[in-house]
């Protein structure tokens, strides 16, 4: 059976990065919807909000005051989920209340930081210029290298929650860094998969995968000289996207100047299309997966970023992970190929700029 016909019927797809499967049910995309409708996000309107705890010069919830920053601004999270250890070289301590591994707990130290992308309250990555986004990329790279050099940090997770639908508590453009004493679940699964693939095939999993996607073209969205944005074959969320570096590089700190600008450009191209999809400030959770900072060599790691947006049919209909998804396996209705075509065919000019013209 040809792939096109195969994909028109229920089937499941394998994610080689995690070892998980996703059920794809293309025929369900036409089913009627009478469930919950979300309130469409309107986006921030003020360049400066005196009540925003992330705007320049304002007092934060913890009592500290922001500087009058003009570009990116980084500070330690006032309500951090992780705290540094009392001794920098202290290792996690473990206890098992059951003696059989059933009630196992372990201490976890780390650092949490906030990165404001811009001093302008109403901005988003989609509406910032490429030089402005490049400064954000440079900040990500600087923070990865600086935090990762600490002796008790093994993994630096850089991410952004965009929009109220994704739990973002402030509209000011910002992201976060949570750096752990141990490697968290998702990066750990990806590390194991990439390492096993390298040992078996003497090649990089994502280098090989990207080459196949470039030949197929059906799931590609946008690309430039240094990065590619595509809907992965195994995507779970309706308009999920993965960004991959075209050359084998393990982390943000290893990007040269041209690659940092290239990453900024691909962010601009993708997030603009996201916003243009339903002509709203598009919600998503985005995060980089990159090599751990555990002082070991990681030739298996290939830098990439995941975008997980919740919207399905419109700005008011979202994908819920419930029922079968929670109890059995992730499931999606529209195929990754259809999602990629939709995003690929959207304008690269932000809808707000087109309206002004």
What does each C-alpha distance from 179 to 49, 104, 332 come to in angstroms? 30, 22, 31
Give the pLDDT score at 98. Answer: 86
Segment 132-162, tens digit of pLDDT: 999 999 999 999 999 999 999 999 999 999 9
In this structure, what DSSP letter does residue 40 have? P
Give the pLDDT score at 201. Answer: 98
Decide if 46 is inside a domain.
no
**Residue written as token pair 């792939």:** 3
Give the pLDDT score at 34. Answer: 47
Give the active site residues: 174
Decide if 78 is inside a domain.
yes
- Percentage of the chain with pLDDT > 70? 93
Contact 206, 302 (CB under 8 A): yes
Q: Please indicate, yes or no, whether residues 168 and 191 belong to a single structural domain of this protein.
A: no
The mean of the pLDDT values for the chain is 92
Cross-strand bridge partners of residue 177: 113, 158
Range of the domain at 107: 73-180
Q: Please indicate, yes or no, whether residues 220 and 347 belong to a single structural domain of this protein.
A: yes
Contact 307, 339 (CB under 8 A): no
Q: Please indicate, yes or no, whether residues 224 and 151 belong to a single structural domain of this protein.
A: no
Segment 61-98, tens digit of pLDDT: 889 999 999 999 999 999 999 999 987 667 788 888 88
Q: Please indicate, yes or no, whether residues 243 and 109 belong to a single structural domain of this protein.
A: no
> 173, 154, 155, 153: which is closest to 163 by C-alpha?
173
CATH of residue 348's domain is 3.30.428.10
Give the pLDDT score at 42. Answer: 56
**Residue written as token pair 């002509």:** 279
Q: Considering its fold, how many domains does the chain have in total?
A: 2
Q: Please indicate, yes or no, whether residues 82 and 229 belong to a single structural domain of this protein.
A: no
Which of 88 and 283 is assigned the larger pLDDT? 283
């Amino acid at each position: 059976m040809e792939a096109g016909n195969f994909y028109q019927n229920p089937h499941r797809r394998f994610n080689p990065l995690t070892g998980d499967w996703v059920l794809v049910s293309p025929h369900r995309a036409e089913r009627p919807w009478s469930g919950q409708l979300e309130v469409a996000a309107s986006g921030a309107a003020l360049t400066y909000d005196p009540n925003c705890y992330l705007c320049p010069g304002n007092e934060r919830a913890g009592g500290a005051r922001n500087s009058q920053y003009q570009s990116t601004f980084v500070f330690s999270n006032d309500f951090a989920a992780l705290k540094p250890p009392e001794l920098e070289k202290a290792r996690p301590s473990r206890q098992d209340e059951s003696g059989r591994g059933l009630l196992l707990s372990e201490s976890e130290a780390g650092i949490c930081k906030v990165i404001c992308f811009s001093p302008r309250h109403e901005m988003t990555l989609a509406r910032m210029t490429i030089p402005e986004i490049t400064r954000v990329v440079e900040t990500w790279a600087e923070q990865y290298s600086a935090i990762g050099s600490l002796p008790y940090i093994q993994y630096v997770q850089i991410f952004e929650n965009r929009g109220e639908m994704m739990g973002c508590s402030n509209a000011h453009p910002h992201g976060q860094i949570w750096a752990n004493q141990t490697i968290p679940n998702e990066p750990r699964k990806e590390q194991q998969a990439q390492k096993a693939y390298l040992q078996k095939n003497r090649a990089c999993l994502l280098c090989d995968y990207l080459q196949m996607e470039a030949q197929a073209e059906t799931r590609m969205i946008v690309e430039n000289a240094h990065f590619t944005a595509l809907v992965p074959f195994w995507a779970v969320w309706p308009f999920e996207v993965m960004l991959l570096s075209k050359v084998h590089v393990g982390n943000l700190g290893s990007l040269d100047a041209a690659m940092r600008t290239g990453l900024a450009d691909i962010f601009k191209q993708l997030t603009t299309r996201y916003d243009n999809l339903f002509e709203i400030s598009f919600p998503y959770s985005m995060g980089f997966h990159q090599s751990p900072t555990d002082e070991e060599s990681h030739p298996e790691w290939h830098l990439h970023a995941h975008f997980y947006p919740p919207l399905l049919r419109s700005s008011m209909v979202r994908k819920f992970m419930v029922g079968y998804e929670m109890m059995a396996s992730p499931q999606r209705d529209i195929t990754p190929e259809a999602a990629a075509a939709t995003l690929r065919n959207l304008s690269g000019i932000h809808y707000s700029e087109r309206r002004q013209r």
